[in-house]
Structure 1
């Protein structure tokens, strides 16, 4: 089950990662198709939401100017995940990961408070489907877990609420932003998964393990929630730090010109 939840949180992380603006090369301006929002405008949050939503039609084929890859499907060459604490001890690798459904996200909330350097994003993803080749070895609640082959995971109604807190700093005579803290909450309505070729192809034993994972995903997910939240925070931090490092505060959120 642990490996199921790790896949879950990684997908969610990728969704938000892909939905955020990625960094352009150093020295380049923000793409002209991005709607400019002013930090001191009374309509900042409305503008930010419109700017965010304006990117959605472009996600299907990707946005090269922002280094956002095609979203349908999103392809990830390899994911490695390990845990060796509590009742779960697993080492796993997933290759040629393909994720579909990311571009159908719904933006529930987007707000920016420049006075507190606070950014809030809440999103829902109706359904995500992941397929990959996997290799896994370890134990779940003292039960052995061993297998390699094809796997898929279906996630339903993923709700995410993210708060990011930043601060200003000076670099090369210009003001930039950096992330001080990220807080993430997430909920899932349902998870269904299938791992082929568990236990060296023992179909009966493999099916029992798949049934166990699917029947108990919720309780097992709570056991690994702290780790999953950390994984997601790390993914988001890497993405946002890159964006903030490439563009100045004035580029990202300029002041209104009088």
Structure 2
């Protein structure tokens, strides 16, 4: 057991360079932010496979073993229990902003997604808009753009699924090298359109299940808005953990040119 812990510690302690396929940007260069936008987007595109040497997992699909969302104060009077969640679409993010304030040790990212598809197993029991319901089984939620079909013909409609990230860092020294780690995060999620489909509601009663699914979809903005902060906290922590896995393996001097 001690040997296993020692090897795990050694794997984290050893400093690694960024993969050769990752772009580096000159920290003091005049176009650092613009270069970093391209570099981060390029790195994220590669995460359809794990990059184990720097601790980065696959993010497309992003796998979330379990997640619990507490009941809201409005229409969602039920606890949302999810397991075996997979999220498709994160590797297709289009980054429009990357600000790194080295003095304040903060990172700000803005990213747009064409579509995110959440597949999961759910377990719900409660009320939505005062309607009682219960069920457990497979489900899907799609965060999409209601203008997407128009963009097949026109190129000027922007993506509308926005994630705004803020990360607060601290600097520390390990093995004579300086590293960053995230100590606080903030994520704001702004989907334009959400569609839900929950199978096996009311133990498979199709008529009742279809009605509740319709209620979810007719009121998707209000349903999501009621528990939005809980989703932001959950996914903010997920991405913080991923970011920290990279930062624990790549020293500050190796992150930039």
Q: Same fold (TM over 0.5)?
A: yes
Structure 1 residues 18-66: Cα deviation after superposition (integer angstroms, max 9, x where no partner): xxxxxx8441422232223232222322332232233255233443444
The alpha carbon displacement at 1:138 in A equals: 2.7
Is the 8 Å Cα contact of residues 16 and 251 (structure 2) preserved in structure 1? no
| 1:80 matches 2:83 | no
- Structure 2 matches for 1:57-68, cutoff 5 A? 57-68=45-56
- SS at structure 2 position matched to 1:86: coil
The offset of 1:69, in angstroms, is 4.1
2:191 pairs, out of 181, 188, 191, with 188
Contact 1:151-1:196 at 8 Å conserved across structures: yes
Which residue of the partner structure matches residue 89 of structure 2?
101
Aligned length: 230
Q: Tell me the CA shift for residue 84 of structure 1.
A: 4.0
Structure 1 unpaired stretches of 5+:
1-23
5+ residue gaps, structure 2: 1-10, 145-159
1:75 to partner: Cα distance: 5.6
Q: Residues 231 and 219 of structure 1: is their aligned pair in 2 closer, same or farther, counting only changes over 3 Å?
A: same
When the two chains are superposed, the root-mean-square deviation of aligned CA atoms in Å is: 2.6
**Alignment-derived partner of residue 217 in structure 2:** 214
CA distance in 2, matches of 1:65, 1:246: 8
Matched, 1:240 2:243: yes
Structure 1 residues 121 and 26 mapped into 2: Cα distance closer, same or farther (>3 Å)?
same
Secondary structure at the counterpart of residue 130 of structure 1: strand
The correspondence for 2:203, drawn from 200, 213, 227, is 200
Shift of 1:102: 2.6
Question: Distance between the aligned counterparts of 1:70 and 1:245, measured in 2?
Answer: 18
